[in-house]
Amino acid sequence: MLATLIPFFDKNMKVRAYSLFSQKENSLLNPPIFGTSSATGLAEIEGLDIVRNIGIDTLSPGTDVLIPVNHIAIFSDLESQCEDLRGRLVLLFDKTIENTEAYRKRLAELKQKGFKLAIMKLPVNELEQNKELLALMDYIILDHKKVDVYKAKIYFGHLYPNLTICVGNIQSQEVFEELKDDESFQFFEGPFYRIPINQGETEVSPLKINYLELMNIVNDVDFELTKAADVIGRDTALVVELLKMVNHIAVNSEVTSIRHAAAILGQKELKKWINTVITKELCADRPNEVARTSMLRAKFMECLAPVFGLGMKASEVFLMGLFSILDIILNMPMEEALKKVNVTKEISDALVYQKGELANIYSFVISYESADWQEISRQLIVLNVDTNTIYQAYAETMCWYKTMFFEN
């Protein structure tokens, strides 16, 4: 099983929902053969198993989850399968749902029983023939690269005033800034939040400079805990955040100081947590999803390190995951951003040039979070790794994130 979450933002860049994208098997080793018995799995809702196994609050604390339901699974017993989840799930359909009496009746039943409904990938030239289906939907997701969303808003605003328009596949911050000012569009999806806005030379704020200097002390080859402790100790908020995080992983012991944390965790492990806390603070003026992306990448890479033959470099790939959004934090090209922190040549080569020993794991995680299952399937064949190994690493990552950042 492969699974990842794609965020949907509101106009203020707050995540309002995640869309769950999943794939049960390696698509290159087990291609679907429709019209045969191997299509019987279509009656299953793959994403539902993931929600059950990992937990909806672990996957998406406090927000809705859009879960794909195909044209066969819609007729399964969704009511009992999702009884305790219907307030949090949005059933996501695509163009395979037909505008027939059977489908319309089923959609109306689900809507009447409290389910929210969404549709995506509906071609513009098929809108007219699907009027009755659209009237039953709560949300429609429009691909910004394929649909003139400004023309579409006039159409939907006139015929379906209660339909919430979500614009997907937004590729840049500039496009998002234009769209968010239009009241017709409510939610936004795409990689735009992971792309810095380059408007000439960017000045780094004094607070961020202080944090970067602290990072350089921590990541220096001659790192001295005493020196780092003194510098961190000047920032009360940083100390509180660090101790709170360390206490999540300290067993049967309340950590009360940085030196105490070093004695329990060891200097190497403590460096990892200092870097984590500083990165989180550096993201304070960015959307929460930026910090979340950084943390999830770091932990996912650490979990995957043995798969890529990098078990001895787990701490280094964790750091690479944290720093993989440094260009967004500082709003400058990655090559320039990395000059402001002490990182190894291996990390720099992977993040800037996508080459070197760490490049493959970085490329894998980027493809994974974008749900590029064909590329992931190809890499799994090269690695000779099954999908379950990756899924277990992902599940561990999501549970770690919830424990570290959402539990008191």
| Predicted confidence (pLDDT) at residue 202 exceeds the cutoff of 80 | no
Dihedral pair phi/psi, residue 311, rounded to 5°: -55, -35
Same domain, 162 and 223: no
* Domain end call among 141, 164, 194: 194
Same domain, 354 and 260: yes
pLDDT tens figures, 220-276? 877 777 766 776 777 777 778 778 877 777 666 677 777 777 777 777 787 888 889
Residue 115 lies in a domain: yes
Same domain, 7 and 153: yes
> What pLDDT does residue 36 have?
40
Q: What is the domain range of residue 258?
A: 206-406
pTM for the structure as a whole: 0.90
> What pLDDT does residue 35 have?
43
Residue 200 lies in a domain: no
Same domain, 70 and 176: yes
- Number of domains into which the chain is organized: 2
Residue 219 lies in a domain: yes
Same domain, 182 and 263: no
pLDDT tens figures, 224-234? 777 667 767 77
Torsional class of 266: left (φ above 0), alpha (ψ -120 to 50), beta (otherwise): left
Residue 244 lies in a domain: yes
Residue 199 lies in a domain: no
| Predicted confidence (pLDDT) at residue 174 exceeds the cutoff of 90 | yes
| Predicted confidence (pLDDT) at residue 33 exceeds the cutoff of 70 | no
Residue 201 lies in a domain: no
Same domain, 292 and 385: yes
Instruction: Using pLDDT thresholds of 50, 70 and 90, give the confidence band for residue 34.
Output: very low
Residue 175 lies in a domain: yes
Torsion of CA 310, 315, 319, 324, to 10 degrees: 20
Contacts of 253 (CB under 8 A, 6+ apart): 264
Residue 332 lies in a domain: yes
> What pLDDT does residue 252 have?
66
More confident of the two residues 315 and 38 = 315
> Which two structure tokens, joined as six digits, stand for 363?
């490329």
Same domain, 379 and 293: yes
Same domain, 238 and 303: yes
Instruction: Using pLDDT thresholds of 50, 70 and 90, give the confidence band for residue 201.
Output: low
Same domain, 181 and 211: no
Same domain, 182 and 66: yes
Same domain, 300 and 377: yes
| Predicted confidence (pLDDT) at residue 154 exceeds the cutoff of 80 | yes
| Predicted confidence (pLDDT) at residue 15 exceeds the cutoff of 90 | yes
Question: Which residues lie across from 281 on neighbouring strands?
Answer: none
Q: What is the CATH number of the domain that holds 321?
A: 1.10.3210.10
